[in-house]
Amino acid sequence: MIGRVSAVRREDGFTLVELIVSLVIAVILMVAVTGTVRGALANSRANRFRQEATSVAMEAFEYSRRLAWDNLAMASIDPQAPLIDPDAGVLLSSETGLPSNEPLLQCPTGAVPAKTVFTSEDVTYTVWLYVTQVNASLRRVYALVGWEMEGTSFTHRSESIVSIVSAGGITAGDQPVFPDAAIVATGNVSLAPGTTQSSPPTAHSASIWLNQSFANLDAVVDGDIVAGGVVNATPANVYGTIEQNAGTPVNVPTVPEIEAWRSAMRAEAVAGGATGGNLVVSGGTLTAPMYVDGTLELQGTVHIAGSGPVYASGLLRLQAGAVVTADGAHLVSDATIVFETGAEYRVAEPTAGGVVAFAASTQALLLRGGDDGTVQGLAYAPYGGILLTGAESWHGTLVAHGSAGLGEVAMSGGIGVVYPANLLPTSAIVNPLRPPPPASVCG
């Protein structure tokens, strides 16, 4: 009878002890869930504020790049600003991680504010901007964004390099301009998927400038995309800004200017030493400048001493597995330049070396990349296009501006371009094609 009564009671409901245990477990679970939700919300808010700070810095860089050269300077120097020595007028390397202290650039025409403060979602942000003089043709814009959340201070730092040839207000008429970018093209650009990376990574200058359309949703671009046509890219994969239907962002030299430059390089090569007929070099050393009136094929391990052009009137080919090193010489062909599988070109001075092919075809330059960390410099097709393929990235920049759709840049195999900061604005190869810099009252 007792057992029967107990069974009935179990059917009627929980005992008091069971209820208390259930409540305790429920409270524990609620506390745990509440803590998890609170932590998730806090992380979400923190990420949102950091994204806001990143966006503010990028807007500051975009504003700075639109300024004319004389306006790309600080309007004033705040002696209370962090990261600087106000007496010496420098941005401190010890505070920023830069290789050395850099002089702050302040001018009467400067339009970059030293400090701005704004509020978003009840959080106050303080934005410090610094403009420094890297050299006569390069300036650095450094941003420090600070804010507080629940009594804790946070900061975001980033920087951008602006060259005199890519600053706002410099592009005028049909003057030849080579923007500071990893890829410059008058045609389309397709990375399939591919990447552009800056070297050093903090430069974020591995941009893409083109007059037609960009296409690849999987491509990762460590810089801006500025296109005359349509941009088909994933914004989250682009470090900087995306500007499409931008008219003609890439202005190029005229044919007479290119031909005069070409003749000067040929004359320099001939003066260094001319060889008639086709030439095959299998190992050993060449001395630049030199001229080959025919095809030039390089095999094995070849070193090019000296500087200036190694110029071939016909096809210039690096055979499969060839490793060509150069002190500062560049390879030039009136026809096509081809790098076979595994062929590499390595230059000691990226601003002095590179490859130039004058063929009027979509593959005036058919290239492979180089070993990780090696530098190839400028790859330039004044009348045609560039195809980059292989297992390693090209360490340099790709420039193609052939007419009638020839000036296209394409990649296959998912490789990319590693862009040494400011390589193109300081490249000795194309300096003769640049317009004289505008007179400046600032710096």
On whether both 264 and 154 belong to a single domain, the answer is no
On whether both 75 and 104 belong to a single domain, the answer is yes
Residue at which a domain ends, from 163, 194, 222: 163
What is the total count of domains within the chain?
A: 2
Tell me whether residue 79 is in a domain.
yes
On whether both 259 and 301 belong to a single domain, the answer is yes
Tell me whether residue 1 is in a domain.
no
The mean pLDDT values, 10 residues at a time, for the chain of 443 residues are 41 63 69 55 71 87 84 92 95 92 92 90 91 87 90 89 71 61 94 89 89 93 92 91 87 91 96 93 95 96 95 96 92 96 88 94 88 83 93 90 88 86 86 74 74
On whether both 212 and 346 belong to a single domain, the answer is yes
Q: What is the pLDDT of residue 417?
A: 93
Cα distance between residue 344 and residue 330, in whole Å:
13
On whether both 98 and 230 belong to a single domain, the answer is no
Tell me whether residue 385 is in a domain.
yes
On whether both 205 and 77 belong to a single domain, the answer is no
On whether both 223 and 123 belong to a single domain, the answer is no
Q: What residue spans of 253-406 are helical by DSSP H?
A: 255-272
On whether both 248 and 392 belong to a single domain, the answer is yes
On whether both 119 and 238 belong to a single domain, the answer is no
**What SS3 class is residue 403?**
coil
Cα distance between residue 331 and residue 290, in whole Å:
10
Tell me whether residue 438 is in a domain.
no
On whether both 225 and 335 belong to a single domain, the answer is yes
Tell me whether residue 267 is in a domain.
yes
Cα distance between residue 106 and residue 89, in whole Å:
9
Domain limits at 226? 183-433
On whether both 254 and 143 belong to a single domain, the answer is no
pTM of the model: 0.73
Q: What is the pLDDT of residue 252?
A: 85
On whether both 151 and 240 belong to a single domain, the answer is no
Q: What is the pLDDT of residue 391?
A: 76
User: From residue 209, how far is each of 29, 223, 244, 371, 431 by CA, in Å?
Assistant: 55, 10, 10, 26, 19
Q: What is the DSSP letter of 104?
A: B
